[in-house]
Amino acid sequence: METNDIIDQYKNGGASLRDAIKTLRTNISFSSMDKEIKTIVITSVTPHEGKSTLAVFLGLAMAESLQRTLLVECDLRRPMLQNYLKLRPPYSLLDVMGKRATDDIAIIPTKAKYLDLLSAAVLANPVEILGSVRFQTLIDELKPKYDVIILDTPPLGSFIEPAILASKSDGTIIVLKTGATDVAAAQAVVSQLEKAKARILGVVINGVEASGGDYYYYSYYDDDGEKKRKKRKRLGKRRRLRPGRQKRTEKNVPAASKLV
């Protein structure tokens, strides 16, 4: 059963979906044993790869584990979180940055316990705001109030903001979509994050069938962001990620267990 409410989609999306997201949550927890991961940047290579959906689903999974979680809308060119959550906040991130509202007023609860949202309005050129000292100060001030802060950012293949935010965050997750993501473009995104000295937690492959078939796409990184080894399905001469074998009709879910 699916509804227009993304929280209901998560709850009614089937065991495979919830298990994949919970595995993602667990792997992030494992990654934070030596170094705390409190701020997480979610980005993708191109639009429509599912990054905002993953950000909400991960936030819900974190909240289910009783972690106080904040979703921050950082895709100011195409903000989608408030639409997905069916919320209409009276104030946004831009109001906080412009000192027209405090964060206590602008941040609102979702209908999921322990999950809050700081939304944003559309802004044509948000680089100066998201890269400002004031924005980083705001995030630093919010850290004591939350266990996890998830920043939903635009596709790094098109805009620079994710690299700026990733360089100041505790970890970054890249969302790719099978059959849609160009391999060379994905490699360029990873390279850009490495140049920004971002801590890449790993890659989530979206649009993979839940059958558990041929979908070994993942990479390992150490704490310095250096790729240690990778294991992926052979791509041959194709230049796009290929989906796994379609054995079930169940809704596609992220291969979240492949994140390290």
Q: Tell me the domains of the chain and their CATH numbers.
A: 6-258 (3.40.50.300)
Give the per-residue pLDDT at 250: 30
Give the per-residue pLDDT at 33: 81
Give the per-residue pLDDT at 232: 40
Q: DSSP 3-state assignment of 255? A: coil
Give the per-residue pLDDT at 257: 35
DSSP secondary structure of 43-93: EESSSSSSHHHHHHHHHHHHHHTT--EEEEE--TTS--HHHHTT---SS-H
Give the per-residue pLDDT at 72: 98
Is there a contact between 113 and 69 (Cβ–Cβ < 8 Å)? no
Give the per-residue pLDDT at 209: 63
DSSP secondary structure of 203-248: EEEESB-TT--S--EEEEE-TTS-EEEEEE---TT--BPPP-----
Query: Does pTM surpass 0.95?
Result: no
Q: DSSP 3-state assignment of 148? A: strand
What DSSP character marks residue 251?
P
Question: Mind listing the pLDDT tens digit of every residue in the chain (260 residues)?
Answer: 445 689 999 988 888 889 999 999 999 999 888 889 999 999 999 999 999 999 999 999 999 999 999 999 999 999 999 999 999 999 999 999 999 999 999 999 999 999 999 999 999 889 999 999 999 999 999 999 999 999 999 999 999 999 999 999 999 999 999 888 889 999 999 999 999 999 999 999 987 765 544 333 333 333 343 444 444 433 334 355 554 433 332 333 344 434 43
